[in-house]
């Protein structure tokens, strides 16, 4: 594992850390993938029909996590990023056709995601590190000028750091992963967790300091804020029956802006997104049920705010190719929920 990096003055001491965890998972079901990466709230689907394979190596603690993910097949992801974390995506292998918010992934630099709606497509062979850092850790660990730079770069969703800086960041995370997977007990040591947190913030700081010249990319559309207000309202309702005009009036925007915002972000209408999100949440729950837990399809349907069981079963089968009762009774796959930040 790499030692501490040279770092300028201004780094505040990080608070005490609880134990962390590490692991190496390969899954063949996108709904298991969705559960593994919570607190992301994602709808994940293969672009083409056929098999699915996702490889995931992780180190996670209550204040930060990072994980390496690799895609064997083209995959689309839509949803919401974690509510209390700044996310950085550090490239390993960027494949042509992979996009983030319908923009090509940068060949150089580190993508950034604040708490917001997310849309991405990763082509077969795409590999990168995702880094999730609690805002509290960022505030405590970075000097004010770098926090300001982080906020400024977040509006463009990109830290245009040099290839060498991004490569060093990725190499450090791979070294930590290798060590943690070989010596799992190291993640039980608060001293090790503290050291890793400090080194992680040093790499974030170096990325922000090593910015090449040039203008920022223009910010993404402000329609994303419309999407977030609409989702906040819809997800708070037990069974939303509002019309599109009523929803637009409730969140203070026009019907056309609301529809454009969802189509721009997710390529679907607001109610279609909500129905799909609830179907995926229902399947994650059905997959996670073990033999000792008493449940029923009716209970899961009601939990997903659906009162019409036949309609729910029909929509479920159209989306996943099986009835919810088939999912409930068949042998369950290994379905970890690994990111401690979800607690």
Q: What is the pLDDT along the chain (343 residues), one digit of tens a residue?
A: 333 333 332 333 344 445 789 999 999 999 999 998 988 999 999 998 888 999 999 999 988 999 999 999 999 999 989 888 999 999 999 999 999 888 899 877 899 888 888 899 999 999 999 999 999 999 999 999 889 888 888 877 888 888 889 999 999 999 999 999 999 899 999 889 999 999 999 999 988 886 554 444 445 556 778 888 888 887 777 655 578 888 889 989 888 888 888 888 888 888 888 889 889 989 988 888 765 455 778 888 877 767 778 888 999 999 999 999 888 887 666 666 667 554 4
Answer yes or no: are the C-beta atoms of 97 and 52 closer than 8 Å: no
Three-point CA angle 290, 295, 299, nearest 5°: 140
Give the CA distances from residue 37 to residues 5, 148, 188, 312, in Å, rounded to whole numbers and listed in that order: 29, 28, 21, 25
Decide: pTM greater than 0.75.
yes
Measured in whole angstroms, how far is the alpha carbon of residue 261 from the centre of its chain? Answer: 20
Determine the Cα–Cα distance for residues 135 and 20; give it in Å rounded to an integer. Answer: 18
Q: Which residues contact 280 (CB under 8 A, 6 or more apart)?
A: 31, 34, 43, 44
Of 67, 72, 59, which Cα lies nearest the Cα of 128? 67
Task: DSSP letter for 187, please.
Answer: G
* 3 state DSSP class of 165: helix
What are the structure tokens assigned to 64, written together? 């930060």
């Amino acid at each position: 594992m790499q030692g501490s990096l040279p770092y300028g003055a201004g780094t505040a001491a990080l608070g005490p850390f609880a134990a962390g965890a590490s692991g190496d998972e390969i899954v063949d079901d996108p709904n298991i993938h969705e559960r593994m990466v919570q607190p992301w709230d994602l709808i994940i689907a293969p672009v083409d029909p056929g098999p699915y394979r996702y490889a995931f190596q992780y180190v996670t603690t209550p204040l930060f996590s990072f994980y390496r993910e690799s895609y064997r097949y083209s995959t689309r992801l839509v949803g919401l990023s974690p509510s209390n974390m700044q996310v950085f995506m550090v490239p390993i292998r960027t494949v042509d056709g992979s996009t983030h918010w319908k923009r090509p992934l940068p060949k150089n630099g580190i993508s950034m995601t604040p708490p917001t709606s997310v849309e991405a497509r990763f082509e077969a062979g795409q590999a990168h590190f995702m880094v999730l850092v609690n805002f509290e850790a960022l505030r405590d660990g970075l000097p004010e000028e770098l926090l300001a730079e982080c906020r400024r770069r977040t509006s463009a969703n990109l830290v245009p750091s040099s290839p060498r800086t991004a490569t060093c960041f990725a190499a450090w995370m791979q070294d930590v992963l290798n060590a943690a997977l070989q010596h799992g007990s190291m993640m039980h040591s608060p001293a090790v967790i503290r050291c890793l947190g400090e080194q992680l913030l040093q790499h974030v700081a170096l990325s922000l300091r090593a910015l090449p010249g040039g203008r920022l990319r223009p910010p993404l559309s402000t329609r994303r804020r419309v999407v977030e207000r609409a989702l906040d309202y819809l997800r708070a309702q037990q069974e939303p029956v509002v019309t599109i005009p009523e929803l637009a009036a409730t969140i203070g925007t026009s019907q056309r802006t609301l529809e454009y915002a969802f189509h721009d972000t997710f390529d679907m209408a607001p109610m279609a997104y909500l129905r799909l999100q609830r179907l995926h949440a229902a399947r994650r729950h059905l997959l996670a049920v073990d033999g000792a837990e008493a449940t029923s399809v009716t209970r899961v349907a009601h939990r997903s705010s659906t009162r019409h069981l036949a309609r729910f079963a029909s929509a479920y089968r159209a989306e996943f190719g099986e009835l919810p009762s088939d999912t409930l009774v068949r042998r369950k796959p290994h379905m970890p929920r690994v990111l401690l930040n979800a607690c």
